[in-house]
Amino acid sequence: MTRIRQWLLVSGLLAGLIAAAIGALVAAERMRPPEVRALELAYLPKGQYIKVAVLGYRQIASDLIWLKAVQYLGEINQTKKGWLWAYHVMDVVTDIDPQFVAAYEAGGAVLGVWAQRVQESIMLLEKGIQHNPNVWTLPFYLGYDYFYELNDPVTAAKYFRMASALPGAPAYLPKLAARMTVEAGDPAAALEFLERLHAQVQDERLREALVQRMKEVIIERDIQFLEEGVRQYRARYKRWPARLEDLVRRDIIAAIPTEPLGGTYVLGSPEGTVKSTAFAGRLKVFRKS
């Protein structure tokens, strides 16, 4: 009987210790400052040192750092420091394993489309192209950065052409590249490109960012359309319309398009311009010089 009691006591002690340890772990997890996790990677040594330290296990090392980076990518705030940190991690991962295409793709797309850290995105993608000259997605994303973020359709088209010549590139690319060069400043070409890019990326947050970009391009297209109507009104009646509805009433346009961000289109100042109540800016890329 005492033997059984002793065993019960010991098992109870063991169970109690394990339960208490798990309790402490859960409590410590909650207390662990979020910056501690971010710092783990922010203070990651340079890739060239890690490469030596991990001996021959470079792929495993880069996979592990990559997994950590992907976990915490959502946690960093969209601050300059946070995104620089993200770039640093991608740079280290690709230093250790220069053939890690996913890191260039995701890093390039996230930094360019989502974080609008264009210079870092370009550096990462150029490094990727240098080490992986046969991957079409890298010049494709680089084209996005030049076309959309840097307002440079000529360089963008160069990268689209480069992408279209690589194995596995979709058939629409050469045509799209030509169209974007010839019709630089045409929102319809940009919209088509963004739709293609949207179909290409898997990440939900990136897709949302791209949908937002598409809506902005639609607004630009609608504003150009409405401003053309306003000019026709002015030419016909020798005065500016009092409101946009006048264009419909005078049969200059069939209807005022629906604003995709939930606002409305109104006449702006100076006279002859149209603006959206939901999206204040105009997209640089379509400004014809």
Residues binding another protein (CB under 8 A):
10, 13-14, 17-18, 20-22, 24-25, 27-29, 31-33, 35-36, 39-40, 43, 45, 64, 67-68, 71
* Pairwise CA distance, residues 188 & 179, whole Å: 10
Q: β-pairing, 265-267 with 274-276?
A: antiparallel
56 or 270: whose CB is closer to another protein?
56
22 or 188: whose CB is closer to another protein?
22
Q: C-alpha distances in angstroms, 92 versus 34, 46, 58, 62, 271?
A: 21, 6, 11, 8, 53
Q: At what angle do helices 58-73 and 34-42 cross, to 10 degrees?
A: 140
16 or 281: whose CB is closer to another protein?
16
Angle at the Cα of 136 (from 133 to 142), degrees rounded to 5? 90
* Pairwise CA distance, residues 161 & 21, whole Å: 59
36 or 55: whose CB is closer to another protein?
36
Closest distance of CB 5 from another protein, Å: 15
* Pairwise CA distance, residues 256 & 116, whole Å: 32
Tokens of 172: 């629409």
Closest distance of CB 220 from another protein, Å: 36
Closest distance of CB 114 from another protein, Å: 18
1 or 31: whose CB is closer to another protein?
31
Closest distance of CB 45 from another protein, Å: 8
Closest distance of CB 106 from another protein, Å: 14
Closest distance of CB 38 from another protein, Å: 10
Sign for the CA dihedral angle at 211, 217, 220, 226 comes to negative
Q: C-alpha distances in angstroms, 27 versus 20, 32, 75?
A: 10, 9, 20
Tokens of 89: 């991690």
* Pairwise CA distance, residues 221 & 203, whole Å: 27
Which contiguous run of DSSP H or E holds residue 89? Answer: helix 80-96
70 or 123: whose CB is closer to another protein?
70
Closest distance of CB 72 from another protein, Å: 8
Closest distance of CB 31 from another protein, Å: 4
Tokens of 170: 């979709």
* Pairwise CA distance, residues 47 & 60, whole Å: 14
40 or 271: whose CB is closer to another protein?
40
97 or 222: whose CB is closer to another protein?
97
